[in-house]
Amino acid sequence: MRWPRIWSLLGAETRSKRRLLLVVSVYVCLMGLVWLAQVPLRPSYKTQIHNKLTDALQQQLKKPDRRPEKQFEALLADPKETGQQPEKVLTVIFKRVDGDQDNLISLVELVTWINSKIQHHISQSLRENFVIFTMVDSNPRNGLISWEEYHHYFLKKHGLNETYIKNHDKKHRGLVRSIKETIMKEKRAWSEAARSDPSYLNVDEFLAFRHPESSHSTIVQLVEELLDKFDRDGDDTLTETEYASLRAEGDLEHEAEELRQGEGERRAEFRTLIDKNHDGRADRNELLVYIDPRNPRHARDEAETLVMLADTNKDGFLSLPEILNKMDLFLSSKMVNAAKSFHDDF
């Protein structure tokens, strides 16, 4: 008999507490509005982090740049363009490559150096591609670059004034022969890179045009060409035998003999460098890794070739006199100028 009375009292008490809680809540909200009117809003956590990073960057920019790399990178430019003495360029680089300072460059030191130059060049190419693309894409700014836009940028970069750029004829009468030849070379490279539209390049095609060694689409194309040439059974993979038994382009007997002599080396290369999962076949992914210029095997191949051609006393090391004796070889190599060497290769 007492339970209904108890529930009634409890219900009344609950309703009273609810009214009191509502009054307190309204009061707190009003006081909060008054406080917010006088105190600026606290920035979000994301905004605080952004501000801290901005402050840190500003402080970093105020510090003087003591890195010696800027002067050194300028030294690595083509001596013919910068006026640097080739002997000086090679001497400075020799001292940098010679890590243990024993006046000899070992194969390990040379591989390490060339690999670092390759990685730096490709990373730099990827960073600057979008910046230059945005700069060239100006008339109109539509996310595509026409040959006329790029040609304007090219002529301006080579020191020609706006009057000449706007009024020049197609044959570029009056320009020095070297620039004319460069323009023709650029036009051919443009045609190869413009896959979606022959008149325009998108940002990826622009990378393939200026730095094909840094373009994923170029590397994919090379893989497809490799499969098309050597995949005899058409299963989109390469076997060791297919890779090792390269087909001669001509019918000359001495070419076939050279291919047979290198078969053992190509088999070893396939097993150690290409077929990473050791299943006897190389698929597209394995071939992509193998062809990618960032693969350290390219630095090793370059270093071994340089040592083989320049090591006159056959001690397995390179001395400064040996390098200076093969000056043209080293000036065109990735040891000195990775960008120029890549562009010559491609």
Q: Which domain holds residue 20?
A: 1-36
* Confidence (pLDDT) at 167: 84
Number of structural domains, the chain?
A: 1
Closest CA to 336 of 80, 156, 44, 148: 80
The one-character DSSP state at 273 is I
What are the tokens at 82? Answer: 């910068």
121 domain-assigned: no
30 domain-assigned: yes
* Confidence (pLDDT) at 58: 40
**Sequence letter at residue 84:** Q
Listed in sequence order, the DSSP H helices in 211-283 are 216-230, 240-244, 253-261, 263-269
164 domain-assigned: no
* Confidence (pLDDT) at 56: 39
E strand map for 132-279: 145-146, 200-201, 238-239
* Dihedral sign for Cα atoms in the order 272, 308, 104, 90: negative
154 domain-assigned: no
Alpha-carbon gap, residue 90 to 336, rounded angstroms: 8
Residue-wise pLDDT tens digits, 97-140:
999 999 999 999 999 999 999 999 999 999 899 999 999 998 88
Helix (H) or strand (E) holding 109: helix 107-136
3 domain-assigned: yes
**Cut 0.75: pTM above it:** no
pLDDT beneath 50, residues of the chain: 1-13, 34-72, 248-252
12 domain-assigned: yes
Closest CA to 114 of 318, 328, 299, 344: 299
218 domain-assigned: no
* Confidence (pLDDT) at 264: 84
Alpha-carbon gap, residue 28 to 40, rounded angstroms: 18
Query: How many other CB atoms are found less than 10 A from the CB of residue 124?
Result: 15
Instruction: Give 132's Cβ-side CA count (13 Å radius).
Output: 18
The SS3 call for residue 176 is coil
Phi, psi of 318 (to 5 degrees): -115, 125
Residue-wise pLDDT tens digits, 40-68:
434 443 334 334 433 433 443 344 333 33
9 domain-assigned: yes
* Confidence (pLDDT) at 29: 59
Burial annotation 137-154 (CB, 10 A radius, 16+ → b, else e): beeeeeebbbbebbbbbb
What are the tokens at 234? Answer: 């058409």
